[in-house]
Amino acid sequence: MKLAIGIDIGGTGIKGAVVDLATGELVSDRVKRPTPAGGEPGAIIATAAEIMAELDAPADSPVGVCFPAIVLEGRTMSAANVSDAWIGLDADARFEEVLGRPIHFVNDADAAGFAEARYGAAADRRGLVIVTTLGTGIGSAFVHDGVLIPNTELGHLELEGADVETCASNAVREREGLSYPEWAARLQRFYAHVEFLFSPTLHVVGGGVSKHHEQFLPLLSLRAPIVPARLRNNAGIMGAAALAAR
């Protein structure tokens, strides 16, 4: 059994587990800690080290870390719900120094999207799979024939003069009290535009609201199939671990 460790850092929680790379299953308990107040790099890295220490995995297991930021060559170039001190930080080097082993650092939406393409709703799908997460904003990941194309930001596509996530995220649905048909009309404009630009073979929709996919996905009329994500809250852990192993 080939194993890897995945650590998923979010604005409110940090969680990690050992992953069986063949199946994507978690083979350890999922260890979770609150994200330290302020989201400073040192405190978050120390918390990740605590989680690592609790995970029973071979010392040579690859380690993947996913994080809510644009990641370029191991540096975090943005910061969402964490300290601005992350912007421009050599996160790869900082984590490796504290954890004492090589890591692979990746955007959280990319990790979740890669997991869905390898183990979840898009497993073995050819062509371009676009995974979107509908939450506070709109996250996205592109996987083409199993290869991740990193750092897409579809939530910031401009439609009708504004970033699409400012009118079509799940947070907007909740804030404005939109019915599912009203929200689906906004999602239709978004996904139709994405199809026009990128011609995917499959859309996968994640985020907590995907539990209610039957309320809105059937209302969308698209060329490519659109299906709910399968891996839920473990997708980031699984994707980070799988990418580290590659």
CA 180 – CA 168 distance, rounded (Å): 11
**CA 227, CA 1: separation in Å to the nearest integer?**
30
Residue entry with tokens 């540096």: 75
pTM of the model: 0.92
For residue 205, CA distances in Å to 18, 30, 179, 187 come to 25, 24, 18, 11
More confident call, 212 vs 81: 212
Please enumerate in sequence order all residues whose Cβ is within 8 A of that of 163, keeping only pairs 6 or more positions apart, or say none. 155, 156, 157
Task: Name the CATH topology of 3-110+234-245.
Answer: Nucleotidyltransferase; domain 5 (3.30.420)
Average model confidence (pLDDT) for the chain?
94
pLDDT of residue 81: 76
In the Cβ-directed half-sphere of 52, how many Cα atoms lie within 13 Å?
Answer: 27
16/33 Cα distance (integer angstroms): 9
Domain locations along the chain: 3-110+234-245, 124-229
Asked whether the domain spanning 124-229 has the same topology as the one spanning 3-110+234-245, the reply is: yes
- pLDDT range class, residue 41, cuts 50, 70, 90: very high
pLDDT per residue as tens digits for the range 139-198:
999 999 999 999 999 999 998 899 999 999 999 999 999 999 999 999 999 999 999 999
Chain length of the chain: 246
* CATH architecture observed for domain 124-229: 2-Layer Sandwich (3.30)
Give the pLDDT score at 143.
97
Share of the chain above pLDDT 70, in %: 100
Q: Where are the alpha helices (DSSP H) in the chain?
A: 41-54, 91-99, 108-119, 165-168, 170-176, 180-198, 235-245
What is the predicted pLDDT for the residue at 56?
80
- Answer yes or no: is pLDDT of 80 > 80: no
| Separation of alpha carbons 119 and 113, rounded Å | 10
Instruction: Write down the pLDDT at residue 62.
Output: 94
Q: Which pLDDT score, from 0 to 100, does residue 57 have?
A: 84
Please, what is the angle between helix 91-99 and helix 41-54, to 10°?
Answer: 40
